[in-house]
Amino acid sequence: MPIKIQEMIKDQWKLTATRNQCQEARKKSLKWLQKEYEDQFAHIRGYFKEITDSNPDSTVEVETVHGPDDKELFDRFYVCFHILKTRWKATCRPIIGVDGTFLKGTNKGQLLVAIGRDACNKIYPITWAAVQVVNENNWLWFVKMLKKDLDLGNGDGYIIVSDRQKGLINAVSKELPNIEHRKCVRHIYGNLKANHGKKTQMKPFIWNLAWSYNEDQFNENLERVKDYDLGVYEDVMKSNPRSWCRAFYKIEGNCCEDVDNNSAESFNKTIVKAREKPMMPMLETVRRLTMMRNSVRATTANAMTGKFTPYVKEFLDAEHENASKAYVFSCTTAVYEVEIDGHSERVDMRSRKCTCIKWDICGIPCEHGYAVILTKKLNSDEYVSDSS
């Protein structure tokens, strides 16, 4: 503000400036800055060349439109580094978080990102794009580029998690008709919180519903929501909870239990300062991803040397307490009845399945399967899915 400028001039140079002088100087400075921001768009093809020169075989797309006087204007910009897409295909989990976030600078726009999970279930940036607006046309363009870069085909065996905007839903259904498109539960809960902000105990009811591994658990948790508050229950039913609950995930060997889009949300938060400046999201993301590309190969290679990634070990450690107190009864060859706290489930060790469905979804032995492994002194490494 002008008064602050007056104070800074006085402090640094021992000079007195009038309020009007400071106001005029401020206006001129803002005009110069605005021109600098606009001039950056003239260098967009320079950014394109820098990426293709330093990262051969990467996918980079720059598209423009014709404005007044047939002047070429920026429209959208897409980047997918070669090392990131090839390593995603070789070592990452078959799940992609897709999200859009606002660019907050003088020249507005939105950043579209696709984020994966590596072998250790850590955040893995795949691709990103800057567009003027988020609409169905731009989502369709982004999904087409993503489909081509990752060789997704019709989507069989892959998962997308998003807040399921209408334009994105239509784009995914057109380009990836067989992909499993999950709703992000964090967005579901956010919408419920906006309508029922005074219901402070609502959160665990919603998340426990999302985390239900089978239909019996789903029905029990849905009844708990209904008992807690009828209004919340009615809004939950409007959101079609079967589209965001684990109990109704496809079981096709993809072994991803995620119910939220935290990876994409976290990535957007990481680059929040870059998003406040025009064009800088591209430059900042290029810089960060270029710096990390050399470590991607080593990180993913180390993670895949065995099935016991840190993620798998942490998962089994969490199952150990219940598994160690279970009663295991042999039924037929490789089939067992496992009782924990008076509740029984049937485990088939040959097919790596349990009637609780958790093993089917995660690809890692559930507490019942792990109980059999501990009791029979089996090698747990043999019972972890390659996709986990």
Model pLDDT for residues 12-42, shown as the tens digit of each residue: 999 999 999 999 999 998 888 777 777 777 7
Kindly state whether residues 228 and 365 are assigned to the same domain.
no
Kindly state whether residue 99 falls inside one of the protein's structural domains: yes
Residue 197 placed within a domain: yes
Name residue 63's beta-bridge partners: 76
Give the number of other Cβ atoms within 10 Å of residue 72's Cβ: 12
Residues 18 and 66 in one domain: no
Cβ proximity of 55 and 290 under 8 Å: yes
Count how many domains the chain has: 4
197 and 91 in one domain? no
Let me know whether 102 and 144 are in one domain: yes
Task: Compute the average pLDDT of residues 94-123.
Answer: 86
- Evaluate whether residue 125 is within a structural domain: yes
In a shared domain, residues 180 and 90: yes
The answer to the question of residue 343 being in a domain is yes
Q: Cα angle at 256 between 251 and 260, to 5 degrees?
A: 120
Q: What dihedral do alpha carbons 12, 15, 19, 24 form, nearest 10°?
A: -80
Q: Is the pLDDT of residue 141 over 70?
A: yes
User: What pLDDT shows up at residue 102?
Assistant: 84
Domain extent for 367: 310-383
Interval 58-97: pLDDT, tens: 999 999 888 888 888 889 999 999 999 999 998 888 999 9
Do 96 and 224 belong together in one domain?
no
Distance of CA 75 to the CA centre of its chain: 25
157 in a domain, yes or no? yes
Confidence band (pLDDT; 50, 70, 90) for 284? low
* Residue 388, domain member (yes or no): no
Q: Are 241 and 125 part of one and the same domain?
A: no
Regarding whether 26 and 10 lie in a shared domain, the answer is: yes
**248 & 324 share domain:** no
Average pLDDT for the chain: 87
Q: Out of 271, 302, 333, pick the residue that ends a domain.
A: 302
H helix runs in 92-164, sequence order? 136-150
Are 127 and 148 members of one domain?
yes
350 is a domain residue: yes
Single residue among 25, 40, 55 that ends a domain in this structure: 40
Same domain, 19 and 52: no
296-334 per-position pLDDT tens digit: 444 444 444 445 678 888 899 999 999 999 999 999 889
Q: Is residue 337 part of a domain?
A: yes
Q: Which is more confidently placed, 106 or 352?
A: 352
Is residue 177 domain-shared with residue 196, that is, in the same domain? no
**DSSP annotation string for 332-365:** ETTEEEEEETTEEEEEETTTTEETTSHHHHHSS-
